[in-house]
Amino acid sequence: MQAREALRQRHGVRLVEPEEEGASVRELPDGVYGFTYSPAIAAPLFRTFRYRAFEMHRVSGEALIVGFMSAGDAARLAAGGDADPVRLHHDRGADADTLVVVPYARIARHRQYSVRDTAHLELTLGPA
């Protein structure tokens, strides 16, 4: 939680207000974050974190998905090039211990966007 809070401070984001809940990240103003089971550009954001929900930020007009990756996947994300599929987990785990931020614009393909039954998304990234 400390790493997430530090990231929120760096991004200068605040939790969505009650009257903003249910709006998508693209409809919200810059400087907002919230939680969703389906981290897509049109997915609704909510104030309450629930199990297997992803955190999304709106910063400088960009939608960002916050999650955890293995060190190898995180290194490929940071390298900025095209990548073989990487796994983005909603929370820290044994095989995903590196906090990352994935710009929505980097996602070239995805395997699924609802994580009610799995702990991760499989993403193919495009160049930064």
Per-residue pLDDT band for 127 (boundaries 50, 70, 90) equals confident
Q: What percent of the chain has pLDDT over 90?
A: 59
Residue 20 pLDDT level (bands cut at 50, 70, 90)? very high
Phi, psi values for residue 92, rounded to 5°: -65, 140
CA distance 110 to 34: 21
Q: What pLDDT score was predicted for residue 59?
A: 96
- Residue tagged 């997915």 (tokens): 43
- What's the helix, strand, coil split of the chain in %, to 5? 20, 35, 45
* 14-23, 52-61, 80-89, range with the lowest pLDDT: 80-89
